[in-house]
Structures are given as structure tokens and as C-alpha cells.
Structure 1
């Protein structure tokens, strides 16, 4: 540190009192660097060798010091740890609770808190702990541990514990140091062992985290736990009934308390709408979310993911300490290094064990020679210690050729310490048996050393068998679809428009009401001058005078088609065009006309399903015009980009345009697929094709519980895990089922058609023992009945049943016909009989127009395409979307 006075300042005229400049360069270089290094190496970041931070390592060492098989008060362990750890008791107790909550190394007793609810542990004087069997098995071995002096030099502590397991990946680790941090996510115990075995066998492996709070996670961007990766975690939410959702698992790094707070906050902001929320969490999570009547549970589930902590993102960062330096490393490399380190530790153990066995064999052989050859008698005449040593050494020499090492003075001293009682009771046969047993043990250890990899594989396999029970994967692996917040947000604000003055907004309550919206929505606006703009919802926004259409804008919406007729300039020709608006720049004004001054809209319509109406064109009487009135069908006009000029309607002045006939959709039926991975339907070709759907078509859903329903397909829909049928619904096609009636204890057959659309109905008995055996939507289904063997009777042959012939179609609530009185073992669904289903003719089959092949009609010269330029390729073509 250097103190200097700035002479230049003091020498100036009218100078204020002297200023002192203190340079902190030296202070920064020395003190800050020392502090940063200390925090990184001694506090925040775990070591790669054993996976422990210093405080954790000292806690585990202290617990081993105190270990006698019984529980110790945590306060006692904390006090003992302070002999090694130069920090306060609170930091040690907190670190110990975190280890105990991971349920791997510490056997806990008392209230250690709850990772699900976020409740803290009881005071350390009230709770107890001892080392788990797993910790005693894999963490400690003082013979292969490197020791160092404690901070005050009074005791010895381990540099690293000889952990023979990928403990860091099993427990995870998180810490914030100076200038860097670490976040290693926990992984599954069994999967880590299996990955270690694969590595030892030279096979590839992949690792993804597994969280103690369970939940659902998308690891597609995990990036092996390196910087830049991301893990999306979600709560497991299911529908209890039509007005109740139940959250049964929560995302990692959240608690039920924080989750409920985020839900209540989203409700207060109007993002979601709930009636009330109940927290019934005890040993397992159970949060009940009660919804107002008439609110979609599916949409609410997506809204919970979009606006609350029910979905969160975790950014892993693999940083560890190696050779007193931070190292950024992926979880796969961590496992490889941990496994290789385990192999080396096992080798050291075997080598120490081999040395011990060989030493035992050496002394046992010497003892036998000493006693069997009565060499102890040679020392009776010796009067000095040196003479005794020499006499024994001389007596042993003729008998030691088979020994594996030379005899030392320490060996001879040990022989002199053998008691007379032991010599008198010495049994040569037992001594030889002991030597033989030691030779077998030596041979076994040498075999393990020669086949070290096989020995390590057997070691990991034993760990899996001994400690793997109950440690199966908790977190379900899924691939998430992105939730579009604008589609699931509650429309909690009203949108108004002042068409004449050109204002839109949520504060214009005296003006025309447009519809409900949310504060994250965009609004699309069209004016009579042929201008279009998309802007964010606000209290009051000026767009332009003479607004003719306002609506909430749906991004990437290719199904909403805009039909318009406009006049080019003050007296130019009129044009007709159809277009969709899929991509825009917010707050930019787009000109939908040819760009000439005084252009104006003559007709405009917005059609949510691509409808094409028929309009009547009426011209003004001028000159020798013969045809003053004719019809134009928008279905004859190709759907193109919004910047296209359009087709010429007429060069004469149009008096007005009248709607003659409402149109039908000109869009293709949309193909719908079901993706089993994410359990969602989509229009992107992912998964299995369900069918082609028009606006009135519905999905048929049947669950294993006997519930059937028809629904309008939407990409935001959720499907229960017990769903067994998902297909396009044909109203006239019967559903056939065989079910077990719990009350009557008999099997029944029924066939029915759904009479009420969009209604959820149960078609089997509601008795708790009732269950659905098979269900089929084939026209002529076949089933096989396998009978159970009854005592004293021969087993009946299997019976094939034609369900169509067995029973006529009845109501959904009908009991059905009894299948058989005999005891049934099982019922199997067979291939159906051949049958050609009757063709159903839809009204739209005659009206649908393929916009990719249909052009403008040429029956009228006024509708022939003229100069039609396409400038917006993003909006070209038209495909079917939700």
C-alpha cells in the first residue's frame, strides 16, 4: 500500500485543502486473491477425489471418530467437528443437516426437516445421527488415507477420504465462491453404479440427473452438466375431477410452500384463475388446486407451467477442485475419474491386504519352525540378549529356505515373546491348517490383483445388490413442448376501440367493447386506408383513424384468413386478395394496398377457419357499362402473402360490395398425430397419425377405468396415463367391451354408441372391484375367453366370442349380456372379422377447395389475374394448424 500526495492539485490557484490518494493495488493483489483462493478451495467447491467440501469431510471424519454403533447427538458431533473446522457451529450444523437429508451417508433420528415442504430441522441438541452402513462400507479406510495437520496443528485430519463410489454425482453439490460457482445435480444411485460398470467394460454410457423431489424433467439440453446446459423440471399435475387438480410431485429446488406462493401470486396477477388451494403434504406431496366451474383443467395445467414455479429451469455447472485448482468438467468425465479412482483405491486395499497376509504367513511359518524344532531350548544356556538372538537365528537357518523374505531381528524378538503356555499347547496340524488358509487367501488376493477390473465390477455389483433396494429412479424423463403463454393466460382485461378516432386500449371503457384480453397479448388492427399494425395491449394506443377490425393476434396463425377488396388510389382499379398474417414486426405499420395515395378498403372480413364468402359487386352508372352487378366467390382466389397486389376485380368505380352468402372453410382437413413421449397431440408429424380432422370432427378417448368421452382436438390437451384408446371418433361406429362386474362377480359384454358429445361417461359398474377387461372400436371384434381350472373338473377349452353377434347395440348405461357363468382366467382381444365400414359423406366434402391448386376463375374478365407480385415469402401458402 502506497500513500502519495498529489502536488499538482495543491499548486493550483484557489486550491482547496490537500487531498490524499491511497493506492490499493497491493491490497487487491494480496488480500483479495488470498480471500478468493480460500473461499474457492476451502469452503464452496467440492474436491473431485472424494466429492466432499472441507466442512463435509470434517463432519464425516468426526462421525467416524465418535462412531460406536449408537446414535450421537448432532450437537455433540458439531462440537467435535469444531476441533477440525475453523468456523462456527451453525455452519457445521447446517452442512450436516444437508448431508442427512440426502439419505445416503447419515442414519438420522428425530426431526431433520422436510425437503418437500421446506421445513427446517430441529435444533441440533434434539436430533441424533450415526454413520450409515453404506458410509462405513465405502467412505473409510485409514490404511489408505493421506493425513494432514488440522488448522491448529493439534490433530490429524484426512486430506481426502478414500471414497470408493461416485458420491459427488449421487449427492450433487452447490456452492458460490468468489468469481465462480458450482452446481452439480444429483444422479440416481443405481444408474451411477451401472454407468461405472459400463465404463469398466469399455462401453459408452449417458447420465441424467434424478431428483429426490421426483417430478418430471426434460434433459434434452443437459449438456453433460457443463456450463451452458439447461434442465427443465416440472411438477406432476393430474386431474382429480373436472374442478380439481392435484400436484403429487414438485420440481427440484422448490418446496410446497414456494410453489403455493407462486400459484397465489399468479392468481393475484390474473394470469390464472383458481378458487382455493389446499396443502395436504405429509410424507408425500399433495396439493389440491380447486378451479372455478367452467374453467378448462387442461388449460389451467399449462398455465401453471407457464406462470408459476410448477415449471422451472436449472442451469448446471460442473466445477470441482483438482490439485488445488478449480476444474470445469462434465458429469461423464466425473464418473470416469471417480471409477478409475475407485479401481486404484481397491488396488491399494488389495496390496495392503496381501502384505498383511504374507506377513501373517511368514510369522506363522517361523512360529511353527521355532516350536516344532524346539529352537527355544537353544537359548537356555545364553546369558546375554545378543546371545539369545544369535542362538535363535542360528537354529532357524536350516529350516527357512522356503520363506519368502529374510528373517529380521524384529521377527526373532516376536518369537521370544511367545508364552510357554502357547508352546506347550502347540498343535502342528492346526498350525499347518492356518498356514494353508493363509496361502489360499494370498492366492485369492493375487488373483484379484491380476484381474483388477473384474474385481472392481464385482465390487460395484455388490454395492448395487446391498444398497440399491428402494433407490430406483424417481424423476420421470420426458421431452417438453413449449407452453405458449398467450394461449393459456386468463383473459383478465377488457379491450375497447374508438374506431373513428383510431384508438385502442383497456382504459377506453366508454367506447366499443372488442373482447377479453390479457396484458401479455398482442392486438392486430386494420384501418379503412388499408393499413395493418400489431401492437401490445396497453391502456391507450393510437393506430390510425377509421379502424375496421380489431382482434387479439395469434402468432404463427395460418388458419385465420383475411379477405379484402380495395381500390388502388383515388380512381384506380379495384383488387381482391386473400392472405394470412403469421409473422410481423410489432408496432410497424404495414400497407396492404398497392401503396398509392388515397387507396381505401371496399370490403374486409377476418375468417378464423379460412372461410370464403360470396360477395356481390355493384358498380356506379357511368358511360356505356353494361354489367353493373355480379358475384365473386373468394374461394376462387388463391391465398397468398399479405404484400401481394391481388387480382383485378374491375377498372370501374365500385359503388359498394355486399355479402351475398357466408362461406365454408377452404382449408384442408388437418392431420393430427399423437406423440407418446410427451403424451400430446400435434400437427407437426411427430408420433403416430390419428387421422385427418375437419372442424366438426372429434377425438374418442377411453381410459382403463371405463371412462369414455369425445373432445374437440386441441394441442394443449393433456391425456391420463391410463388412456387405452385414442382415435378419430366415428359417431355411428359402436364401442364393444367386456368387463367384470364387481358386485355381481360376473363378466358382461356390452356394445354401445356415444349419444352425447363432449360428455365424460363411465360405461362399466362403479363398484370398486369392477374392472374393464377389453374394449374395441372395430366393427366386428373377436375375443378369446380363457377359463380357470376348477377343483375336481377338467379345464374348459378356450372360447371365441363374436361380440357383434353376441349382443345388439344398446345404451351406454345398459348392463349388457352375461358372458359366462364359468370362472374366467383372462379375456384376450383377437383380430377382428373383415368388414367394410360405411362411407360417411360430410357436407364439406363437396365444398373443400385446395388452395394450392385452385386459381381465380376465368369466367369473368374482371376476375382474371393481372399484375400480382409476391413480396412476403413468410406468408406464402396455407397449411392447417390449430
Structure 2
């Protein structure tokens, strides 16, 4: 048995030795490269010459083959395209639907889907299409088209279509190949033509995306559509009523369905809070978002941008095919190349026309010579074809000195083909008129060739004049302000604290409730040992024993001031300090005392608006201390950095500290600006200064529709596009207005005060034809009325009206006094009369510290927290 086993093993080894190993790495390398090249060149990436991918080019070519001015079934077009495109009908049909939905090259009929809702098109046997007039005008010219054999060699297809327009930029293009991708965003039709004209004129130009779904776009980082750029696109959201938001435009790349799904998902996660959503989208987008009572519409709008697809970021990537190679370029260079290519195509067109006109002129001249000089009679006695040709050639020779080229045998053959009937009816005058007309056409074409750039500019202007109707910009361009998610997130959980054991978290439901918070908030915590820490919200986190204060942390918050008295060490002196905490390193413990062991906090308070209270200090009776009690006003203590040692309170042992008197703010009113670029309020000094605001101050907002309201000046506030007045509200300052009443068809003047500061009121009549003419918040406004000139009468002199004298202050719902019975042409505001407004007396006299003076020790930045939801009451120890 052992010998047999050894023999089998030897046979196996010999068999292994005879086997050969074939390496297939080279095969994979070649095949993969071929496959990658095919996908890049033949499927995914458009050509720069005409802006088409191969399937799109073949669809357009097939539609031209079938074009007779009538609609064709898409199924028929798809079948015809399969003669040129070696792929399935589904891919061709999908590509054709995408072209049709862009509403530029294909005139569609039937259900072609909806880019707003994401609904797909009907089956190709039910829908029809034909080429648009624009496509017939700019895409085709077989005389200047280069051709190649189709994939099976039976037919010819264009290598590139002679597109004389920056079509790729107008339609956009997207594709994923092997090893690269492309994403060229669509641009505005009219703006592309204007940019092409500017390029031809040698001027600089800028082109930015314009999306068919409209929306609002921030193209500040567009980077000319190259790699690394970014475009932020937002839905258009406005306030429908106090508890309802309406979305009327969606971001490019989303649909109403995907948008609603993202909103519902954010609601389920507790990021936002909504009651229900209604989708009323038909031809236009209308999504109603109903909010529960008590939820801020402005904050919800920001939350929709922060947590849903109401704001998306698009990364463009300009990649095209040129000379069978991928090329990465920006949209400006694409437009330059497209425009230059259009100029060359126009030149080729003109040269072909010139050649055709010259050929027509040449034969018309020969025809006239042939008939007018009766040369056709010279061939009557000729018996051979060669003799006929020679006879005609000989007869023409005396008359052809003015011709522009030599006569060929083909020219003579064409003369022999003229019918006798045409010779008999030949009119010399008409023939000369035809020759003259051809000479004019030749001169015109030569002029165009000599002034090719001017001709190209006129060509683009003709395109704009002919086809620009309905192609105005849809996407509003606007700079966005980043939405801080921590400021707009709904407080979807509760924070608890176990002060004695030193734990905070959302799962400590048996312990002390602190406040509502969100799962993305940061929490600031102080302990009785004078330690401070900022940490992320979690189910349970250990901070340190004897917690004295816990709250949601706000980064860069200069208005929350912490008042503190602590003992340095076990028997050291006590110090007093005031400080703000604007930034920290998360989960790092900070010592707010002098750093000695056994330090203790005697007194601590957190003051959201920089309040400074008065406290009483009591000392222990030790030795010969004379003064055992005195008061300290925190307003006398300067606000410094959190690492400062503080001012000495006493070197003796403190028995207790009591709150004597609640404090008032020691900070100046907050300055608020309005940035018109992003249509938002800010405290960073950007835009127009609206004024200095205390806690009770409000903003006055008036829009062109005649609505007036006052709002709290929060940086999350949103403003309508038709807002015409935004200023600090002075309650006793009257508002003056002149409006046209649609019911009575008269102009009225009214002056009123805001009666309900928390309500939005309409101060003109509700008639649909009523409209606000002018509104003023000046104390003594002046207006000028220009009257319409009536037929047969002299124009009435302009009337200047002192609105203060014209009408007394009445209720906001009053009709007002009639301005005039005459027909009014125009009403305009004049400079107001001088008036010394009453001084705005400060609410207190302790507001002496500027917010900019509040300093803190530099440290690493931490993500900004949400608004502090804390009473700010002092804690005694």
C-alpha cells in the first residue's frame, strides 16, 4: 500500500510540472482600457463641438431624416434611431425624453413627464415629437456636416452636427463614465447669447447657471463650472399665513416628492416640527407646510434649509470630448470655443453660398450668351457629340471675357439640356435682372465674409430676437447666509442634571429637569470647585460633583455674562470676577479659580443680558474684625477674560453671601444691521445700520402690498422681496400713506399708528385693484401730485401736500381723506419738513459697557450652541 501511494504522489508532481501558467493581467489592462475609452467617448461625455452625446446626436439626426413638419410617434423615432445607435430602445427613449423636457430642440406632444414632480413620461407609443423651429435653424446644415459610416456600415451619420449656438451650456449635461464624470449645469438662453456677443466684441463676460426648476442659487463659489466649484440652490419658501409656509420653487436636481420625503424624515428625527404637508403641485409648484401653533415660521424656514433638501449643494465638473480625448475646462472657455466654432461654421456657410451664387451667375451668363447670340444654331449641322461640344465652345469664345472662370465641358453639356420652349420664351431683360440680383447677392456675401465678426454678432442678435420669448432667467441669484443648525433645530429632547453626583444627560429622567435641548447642542456646566466644561448632549455624561449651573452653550456669545465670587484654596482670600465664555475646546476642563486645591465658589450667576446684581457679604466673627457685612455691586466690576484672577473681596473667612437686589443690564443696546445682499439681519456690521436695540425694541416692516407689522429683531427673521420699509419702530411716530382705492377709484391719504404690535395689518383697502402709491415714516412728510393732462385743457399745476396738515392721525383701518378728484399721473415723495423728534430716553442709565469691550482669553473654537434657555437667576452657596 505504501508503494502505491508513493507512485501516485510522483505522478501528480509530474502532471503539475507539465502545466503552464498564463498571466492575464495584460489582457485585463487592454480590455479595461478599451471599455473605459468606449464609455467615455461613445456614451457618457458630450462633445464640445456640438454639445451632444452620441445617442443624442443620433436622435437628432434621425428626427431630421423623418422630419416633414408633422409630429412623429416617439416609438417610430426610437426605432429609426436604432439604425444608427447600437443599443436598446429604452436607452434611446430615455435620452429623447430628457432632451424633450429641456424644451429647446424638440416640440413635444403628449405626456412627457414633469421635472417638478418627478413623474415619468408616458410610453413612447403614446407620445409624439417633432423638431422645433430653433433646432431646424441652428442644428442642421448637411452641406457643412462631416459624415461617417454608421456602426453596421449601411448608412452615414454625422461625426458632429454643425450646431451654431452654445447648446451644451444651454441644456447642461451630466454623465458618469469609467474613471471620470461630467456635470455641466444649464445656463440661461438669453445670457448665453449676450455673452457670445460680448466675446465677439472683445469684452469680458460672466455666465452663471439658470435652472429649469427655478429656485434661488448662490453662485459665489461657482469657479466657472470647473472641478472644486460649488453652487448652493434653495427652494423658494415664503410665509402663507402665520401657521403655514408655502414652497413655490424647488432646487435643481430635486422633485416635489423627494423634497416632501426629506421634510417628513427631518420631522420624524425631531429636527423640525410640522403638522402636515399638502402637495398642490400642478403646472406650478405649491407645497403647503402646516406648522403647529407656537412654532416660529422664520426659524422653520431656516430649519428646512438646514435639515432637508430645500437646500442642496451642486458640484459642477466641466468635462467634454475634444479630438477624441476628455478635456476639463470651465464654462467661459466652453462658450468662447462654441462661439468661435459658430463663427467658423458661418464662414463655411457663406463660402458655400458664395460658390453657389457664383455658379448660378456663371451659368446664367452662359445661358444668356448661348440664347442671345443664337449659338444653338451652330450645332444643327453637327453629326457627332464631340462636334456639338466643339461648336458650342467655339461659339461662346468671343463672348466670355467677362466670366470669372473658364468654361468646362459640364457647362456646355448643361447648355445642351436647355429646352426649346425655354429658348423660345427667353426674355433678355428678365435674364439680366436675374444676373443683377445674383451680383447683388454675391456682393452681400462677400461683404459678410469681409466683416465676419459683425455678421456673427448680427446672427446671435437675430437668434435672441426670434427665440428669446419665454426664456427669461428663472433662477434668482442671491448670496446666502449660512444657516447655523444649532440655532434653528427644534428642541426635541429634555436635559436633566444630578447636581450632587455630577451627571448631566437626557436619560436622567428621575433627576432635576434643566431645559429643552436638541441632540446637536453643546452644554456648558460649572461646578462648586470653580471648574467649567462644555460637552455635547448625550444620554449621560459625568462632569464633576456639585454642579452649580448647567445650560445650553452659545458660541461667540458676548452678552451672557457670568458673575462669580470664589475662595482661593482652603483658607485663602476671596475674589470677585465677571467674564463671558465665547469659545472653548469641547470636553476640556477649565479652572476658573486661581488653581489652588480646595478652592470654593461662594456665589455664581449667569446673566443672559449682562445683568449686574447687588449682593451682601457676611463675614465670620473672628478676632477683631470690625466690618462683618457690606454690599457689592457687580456693576462696579469690569468684565474680563474667564482666566482672570479677579478683584479681592476679602482676606477673611466668609460666612455667607446673599442677593440683595436684582441687576439690570450693563451692556449697551445691541447694534443691528440689514444686509441687502442676503436679505438678513446681522450683528456683524454688514450692510445698513438699523439702530441700537434693547430687549423691548422692535422693527417696523412695510411691504408694497400694503401690509405693516412689527417684529422682534432676530437674525433668523426672513423678509419678503416686496419689502419697502425696514427700520427701528418708534411707537409714537405716525405712518403716512397715499394709496389708490380700487373700489372708489380715488386716491386717499391716511396717517396712523400701529395698534397691535404682534399682528400684521393691511392698511389699504382689500379691493384687488387697490395699490399703495407712497408710504413715509417721516414726522412731517411732503408729497407732490402730478396731474394727467386732459384733452382740450391746460395741464393742472402740480400739487404739493403736507400730509401732517392734510389729515389727522386716525385708526389703521380708517379709509382716510380723499386726495383729489382729478386724474393723477404720478405721486412722489419730497424731502420732509424739518422737525425735531423727541429724544428716545434710555430705559436705564447703567448701560455703559460696549459689547465689543467684553473680552475672553483666546482658545480653540467650538461649534456654536443654541440660544441659552436659562433664567439667569443667581445661585448661593
Q: What is the TM-score of this pair, normalised by structure 1?
A: 0.94
* 1:260 partnered with 2:260: yes
Q: 1:851: Cα distance to partner?
A: 5.5
Residues 421 and 505 from structure 1, CA distance in 2 versus in 1: closer, same or farther, beyond 3 angstroms?
Answer: same
* 1:849 partnered with 2:835: no
Residues 790 and 378 from structure 1, CA distance in 2 versus in 1: closer, same or farther, beyond 3 angstroms?
Answer: closer
Is the 2:582–2:856 contact (alpha carbons within 8 Å) kept by the matching residues of 1? no
Q: 1:790: Cα distance to partner?
A: 5.3
CA distance in 2, matches of 1:854, 1:795: 62
Local SS of the residue matching 2:810: coil
Local SS of the residue matching 1:43: helix
Residues 64 and 870 from structure 1, CA distance in 2 versus in 1: closer, same or farther, beyond 3 angstroms?
Answer: closer
What corresponds to 2:439 in structure 1? 439
What corresponds to 1:149 in structure 2? 149
Superposition pairs of residues 527-542 of structure 1, within 5 angstroms: 527-542=527-542
* 1:169 partnered with 2:165: no
What corresponds to 1:860 in structure 2? none
* 1:687 partnered with 2:673: no
Is the 1:582–1:874 contact (alpha carbons within 8 Å) kept by the matching residues of 2? no
Q: 1:280: Cα distance to partner?
A: 0.7
Residues 871 and 259 from structure 1, CA distance in 2 versus in 1: closer, same or farther, beyond 3 angstroms?
Answer: closer
CA distance in 2, matches of 1:221, 1:196: 23
Residues 725 and 414 from structure 1, CA distance in 2 versus in 1: closer, same or farther, beyond 3 angstroms?
Answer: same
Greater mean deviation of Cα atoms: 225-234 or 810-819: 810-819
Q: 1:469: Cα distance to partner?
A: 0.8
What corresponds to 1:345 in structure 2? 345
Greater mean deviation of Cα atoms: 568-577 or 236-245: 568-577
CA distance in 2, matches of 1:626, 1:61: 106
Q: 1:317: Cα distance to partner?
A: 0.2
CA distance in 1, matches of 2:436, 2:821: 72
Is the 1:642–1:872 contact (alpha carbons within 8 Å) kept by the matching residues of 2? no
List alignment gaps of at least 5 residues for structure 1.
1-9, 856-868, 876-880
Q: 1:739: Cα distance to partner?
A: 2.6
Is the 2:672–2:691 contact (alpha carbons within 8 Å) kept by the matching residues of 1? yes
Q: 1:794: Cα distance to partner?
A: 4.9
Superposition pairs of residues 385-784 of structure 1, within 5 angstroms: 385-784=385-784
Q: 1:533: Cα distance to partner?
A: 1.1
Is the 1:638–1:854 contact (alpha carbons within 8 Å) kept by the matching residues of 2? no
Greater mean deviation of Cα atoms: 475-484 or 550-559: 550-559
Is the 1:635–1:849 contact (alpha carbons within 8 Å) kept by the matching residues of 2? no
CA distance in 1, matches of 2:134, 2:147: 23
Residues 579 and 21 from structure 1, CA distance in 2 versus in 1: closer, same or farther, beyond 3 angstroms?
Answer: farther
CA distance in 1, matches of 2:515, 2:543: 18
What corresponds to 1:317 in structure 2? 317
What corresponds to 1:872 in structure 2? 858
Is the 1:638–1:852 contact (alpha carbons within 8 Å) kept by the matching residues of 2? no
Q: 1:822: Cα distance to partner?
A: 3.9
List alignment gaps of at least 5 residues for structure 2.
1-8, 862-866, 869-877
Residues 662 and 791 from structure 1, CA distance in 2 versus in 1: closer, same or farther, beyond 3 angstroms?
Answer: same
Is the 1:736–1:751 contact (alpha carbons within 8 Å) kept by the matching residues of 2? yes
CA deviation string 1:107-133 (max 9, x = no partner): 000000000000000000000000000
CA distance in 2, matches of 1:852, 1:98: 56
CA distance in 2, matches of 1:330, 1:691: 44
Greater mean deviation of Cα atoms: 193-202 or 788-797: 788-797
Residues 781 and 20 from structure 1, CA distance in 2 versus in 1: closer, same or farther, beyond 3 angstroms?
Answer: farther
Residues 742 and 345 from structure 1, CA distance in 2 versus in 1: closer, same or farther, beyond 3 angstroms?
Answer: closer
What corresponds to 1:159 in structure 2? 159
* 1:66 partnered with 2:66: yes
CA distance in 2, matches of 1:196, 1:164: 11
Local SS of the residue matching 1:843: coil
Is the 1:493–1:519 contact (alpha carbons within 8 Å) kept by the matching residues of 2? yes
Residues 205 and 792 from structure 1, CA distance in 2 versus in 1: closer, same or farther, beyond 3 angstroms?
Answer: closer
Residues 423 and 745 from structure 1, CA distance in 2 versus in 1: closer, same or farther, beyond 3 angstroms?
Answer: closer
Greater mean deviation of Cα atoms: 442-451 or 681-690: 681-690
Local SS of the residue matching 2:361: helix
CA distance in 2, matches of 1:182, 1:580: 50
Q: What is the TM-score of this pair, normalised by structure 2?
A: 0.94
What corresponds to 1:4 in structure 2? none
Residues 825 and 552 from structure 1, CA distance in 2 versus in 1: closer, same or farther, beyond 3 angstroms?
Answer: same
What corresponds to 1:304 in structure 2? 304
Number of aligned residue pairs: 851
Greater mean deviation of Cα atoms: 744-753 or 97-106: 744-753
* 1:42 partnered with 2:42: yes
What corresponds to 2:184 in structure 1? 184
Q: 1:873: Cα distance to partner?
A: 6.8
Local SS of the residue matching 2:220: coil
Local SS of the residue matching 1:662: strand
CA distance in 1, matches of 2:793, 2:341: 65
CA deviation string 1:67-109 (max 9, x = no partner): 1111100000000000000000000000000000000000000
Q: 1:458: Cα distance to partner?
A: 0.4
Q: 1:852: Cα distance to partner?
A: 8.2
CA deviation string 1:624-666 (max 9, x = no partner): 2222222222222222222222222222222222212211111
CA distance in 2, matches of 1:822, 1:359: 71
Is the 1:618–1:657 contact (alpha carbons within 8 Å) kept by the matching residues of 2? yes
Q: 1:542: Cα distance to partner?
A: 0.9
Residues 147 and 737 from structure 1, CA distance in 2 versus in 1: closer, same or farther, beyond 3 angstroms?
Answer: same
Superposition pairs of residues 82-121 of structure 1, within 5 angstroms: 82-121=82-121
RMSD: 2.2
* 1:828 partnered with 2:824: no
